[in-house]
Amino acid sequence: MKKHRVDGLLEVCYAKEVEKRAVRQYKDRPARTEERIRYVLNVHYNGDAIHQARRMLGWRLFVTNAPKETLDFSEAVKVYRGSAHIEHNFARLKGRPLGIRPFYVQREDHAKGLGRLMSLALRVLTLIEYVVRENLQGDEEALAGLYAGNPKRKTERPTTERLLKAFKGLALTLVELSDQTIRHVTPLSDLQRRILKLVGLSTSSYEDLTLPGDPIPL
């Protein structure tokens, strides 16, 4: 009753019934009395308690300090129902790939600056995810190739972490010669090109790294 949270809603009582049966002697078996025990369970419903519990089902308390002119009741409910996404983002901030903890700094301004930098990175992760999902929904398609071991599996709601993981292994190689520097980048796959398009970036932002220009900071 405690496991299913019906304690107080049901009144349960049981009685033990013993049925005795005499068995006559048979060959080398002596006469004896056998007992058969059974339990009778009676359940009575507590109507008033059940009615009160039903009244409380589905109720939720909303508290906000926002004025009604800024946030009415229906909007407050929508904001609350979206809180799971906010909590998910906080989990991102504390875990990979950001990992805001621990702070290996001693000065308060450094800790404040690092926190702001991580919050900006979190916004970038969230924005990329939103843009890709919106574009996939607009094109009415799903993205395949993000799941290791199951390349045909498709998703309409990829996470930024999986999108970034798809670019693992890319490399920029610099060959320094006496009169020139040769640059080479790993060719982009079809999946990587598709992701860049969904984000709204041109492949030239990556491929142009091979063009001669200003020195690349190492």
Q: Is the pLDDT of residue 218 over 60?
A: no
Q: What is the pLDDT of residue 217?
A: 54
Q: Is the pTM of this model over 0.85?
A: no
The pair of structure tokens assigned to 91 is: 């989990």
- Name the band, by pLDDT with cuts 50, 70 and 90, for residue 212: confident
The count of other CB atoms within 10 Å of the CB of residue 215 is: 7
Over residues 179-190, the pLDDT tens digits come to 888 888 899 999
- Name the band, by pLDDT with cuts 50, 70 and 90, for residue 196: very high
**Mean pLDDT of all residues in 145-170:** 89
The pair of structure tokens assigned to 105 is: 């700094």
Over residues 39-62, the pLDDT tens digits come to 999 999 999 999 988 888 877 777
* CB 28 within 8 Å of CB 61: no
Q: What is the pLDDT of residue 191?
A: 92
Q: What is the pLDDT of residue 215?
A: 56
User: Exposed (0-12), middle (13-18) or buried (19+): which is 49, by Cβ within 10 Å?
Assistant: middle
